[in-house]
Amino acid sequence: MLIIIRAFLLVATTLYQAIACWFEDQKPPPGQMFDVGGYRLHLYIAGNANPTIVLDHSLGGIEGYLLVEELAKLARVCIYDRAGYGWSDRSPHPRSSNQIVTELDTLLTQAGIKPPYILIGDSFGSYNVRLYAHRFPQKVIGMVLTDGLHETAMLKMSFQLQALKLFFISGFAMSILGSILGIIRLMKICQVFEVLKPELGKFPKHLLNSIKRSFCRPKHWITMSREMLNLGASGREVSIANHFGEMPIVNIKANSFFKASFWTIFIPLKGANQLRKQMHVELLKLSTNCTQLEASKSGHFIWVDQPDVIIDAVKIVLNKVAPSRPG
């Protein structure tokens, strides 16, 4: 009898997931969709002042929506969902930085977003913006890296951290099933995200909904797995993007990879933090005009824990490129 009840509940949540996705898909996205080669990417634009800020999110994240309203007060902001996330279609191509950069430039060109750009890259997104700035140096006048990665250390991870990477991938695979069965949507309804990360409560619901909508979709977790599996390839691709002359760069360093909690005792936090320390040393060498800001109250998720530091970083870059801004 218990098995029958469980099966009935799974069928019910799976049907609810399918119906909920259908209703969501009837509503237009907040931004516009642009074809980048047989599949479409979603681009949301806010603000008017030049230059244009372009955001590239973390692996699996679309956290830029949380700050779009604040950043739009400073300049025009372009937030896009990488292929497979948010409103964007899945891409048939490998999910490594070189392909992601190609898609981003095609998107900006198709949308008529003219340079110069200030690029913001969060975590894995830092790989992508660095490679973009290397491939299109005439288009980029500054960067902000929020707890970014550096390939020198990432490609030499210890066995423990390699095992942690595999653990994350297995979690993503389980989440693919969980999203198909409607379990993640049920977690959304029960506000489990806010329980796990109470800091999310300070953001407006309409901004949070853009993010949680994506996490309820199987394609989101499939894409996370693909990007994680290609992380080594991305690191090798971005290894050519380490010399940016006098370009203004602000590198934001979180206090710790994860905030200490009961569950962090199960991960090699000391090793992860040592890896981060090595990466930030290398990131500061990217430019002779590189500034480091400490997010002293934040874990790796600076956009949620201490977003004011990101606003400060953007202001620093804007001030440094002031002569490039139209009078």
**CATH fold of 2-322, please?**
Rossmann fold (3.40.50)
Q: What is the pTM for the complete model shown?
A: 0.91
Contact assessment for residue 288 and residue 281, using Cβ atoms and an 8 Å cutoff: no
Quote the pLDDT of residue 261: 58
Distance from first CA to last CA of the chain, Å, rounded? 73
Task: Quote the distance between the C-alpha of residue 279 and its chain's center.
Answer: 18
CA atoms of 152 and 188, how far apart (whole Å):
37
Q: What is the mean pLDDT of residues 62-89?
A: 93
* Residues sharing a CB contact under 8 Å with residue 117, sequence separation 6 or more, in sequence order: 51, 52, 53, 54, 108, 139, 140, 141
**Band of the pLDDT at 19, cuts 50, 70, 90?**
very high
CA atoms of 316 and 291, how far apart (whole Å):
9
**Band of the pLDDT at 327, cuts 50, 70, 90?**
very low
Contact assessment for residue 122 and residue 63, using Cβ atoms and an 8 Å cutoff: yes
Q: What is the mean pLDDT of residues 11-18?
A: 89
pLDDT in tens, 230-240: 999 999 999 99
111: Cα within 13 Å, side-chain hemisphere: 25
Contact assessment for residue 139 and residue 116, using Cβ atoms and an 8 Å cutoff: yes
CA atoms of 33 and 42, how far apart (whole Å):
5
Q: How far is CA 27 from CA 20, 30, 46, 141, 188, in A?
A: 11, 9, 20, 36, 19
Chain mean pLDDT for the chain: 89
Quote the pLDDT of residue 276: 79
The domain limits of the chain are: 2-322
**Band of the pLDDT at 162, cuts 50, 70, 90?**
confident
Which of the pair, 26 or 170, is modelled with greater confidence? 26
Q: What is the mean pLDDT of residues 37-65?
A: 91
pLDDT in tens, 123-149: 999 999 999 999 999 999 999 999 998
- Complete edge-to-edge strand list for the sheet that includes strand 32-35: 32-35, 40-46, 76-81, 52-56, 117-122, 140-146, 249-254, 290-295
Which of the pair, 46 or 270, is modelled with greater confidence? 46
Quote the pLDDT of residue 326: 47
Most confident by average pLDDT, 59-73, 102-116, 160-174, 196-210: 102-116
pLDDT in tens, 84-113: 999 999 999 999 999 999 999 999 999 999
